[in-house]
Amino acid sequence: MTDKTPAYAAHPQQNPSDHNRTKTLRWFAVERAFVCAALVAASWPGVAAQVQIPVTSLQFAAGGSGARATGHLKGTRLGARDYLLTAKAGQTMTVTLDTRSTSTYFNVLPPNSSEALYRGELDGQQHWTGQLPLDGAYRVRVFLNRAAGRKGVSSSFRLTVQVR
């Protein structure tokens, strides 16, 4: 019986062309894995949420329970802005967003959480009232929806927040 297997087949490191091919395939696999990871990361909301969003503190006037802010969003540069205020568990928060844009919404985020109490884009409303579950710093995030952000849409708004 004649074995037609080349002598170097049992030891691929002895054939330089096999070694280079293996090295090239490994590099290709690593490169492909990085590209796939980058694509997944770019489309994953958790990663997108890590973008630095400007924060403005809302201050209530002495003895007052409400505050107002005006702002401007620009899709490709500044598609969101956070407004921070302190409140206690059991208080009622009312948020109203006045804008001409049909692409501008707001979310209400409780202290130390990225899970919104209210998600304006899902509800489609520009007004929300709800009872607060925790003591701490709440965020009202005003933002452009993703499609408007990609198109570079601009939006001016007025935000009113009351806590009682």
Q: Say what the pLDDT of residue 35 is.
A: 45
Q: Say what the pLDDT of residue 18 is.
A: 62
Residues 146 and 110 in one domain: yes
Q: Say what the pLDDT of residue 52 is.
A: 87
> What is this structure's pTM?
0.68
Residues 159 and 109 in one domain: yes
> What is the C-alpha separation between 78 and 74, in angstroms, rounded?
5
Q: Say what the pLDDT of residue 136 is.
A: 97
Residue 124 falls inside a structural domain? yes
How many domains does the chain contain in total? 2
Residues 36 and 87 in one domain: no
Residue 26 falls inside a structural domain? yes
pLDDT digits (tens, 9 = 90+) for 90-129: 999 999 999 999 999 999 999 999 999 999 999 889 999 9
Residues 70 and 137 in one domain: yes
Q: Say what the pLDDT of residue 40 is.
A: 41
Residues 39 and 67 in one domain: no
Residues 74 and 147 in one domain: yes
Residues 39 and 115 in one domain: no
Residues 39 and 62 in one domain: no
Average pLDDT, the chain: 81
Q: Say what the pLDDT of residue 156 is.
A: 97
Read off φ and ψ for residue 56, nearest 5 degrees.
-125, 130
Boundaries of domain holding 157: 55-163
Q: Which CATH number characterizes residue 141's domain?
A: 2.60.120.380
Please give the C-alpha separations between residue 162 and each of 10, 68, 73, 74, 140, in angstroms, as whole numbers.
77, 9, 22, 26, 12
- The segments of the chain whose pLDDT lies below 70 read 1-51
Dihedral of alpha carbons 72, 138, 44, 38, sign:
positive
Q: Say what the pLDDT of residue 140 is.
A: 98
Q: Say what the pLDDT of residue 62 is.
A: 80
Alpha helices in the chain (DSSP H): 16-43, 45-48, 120-123, 146-151
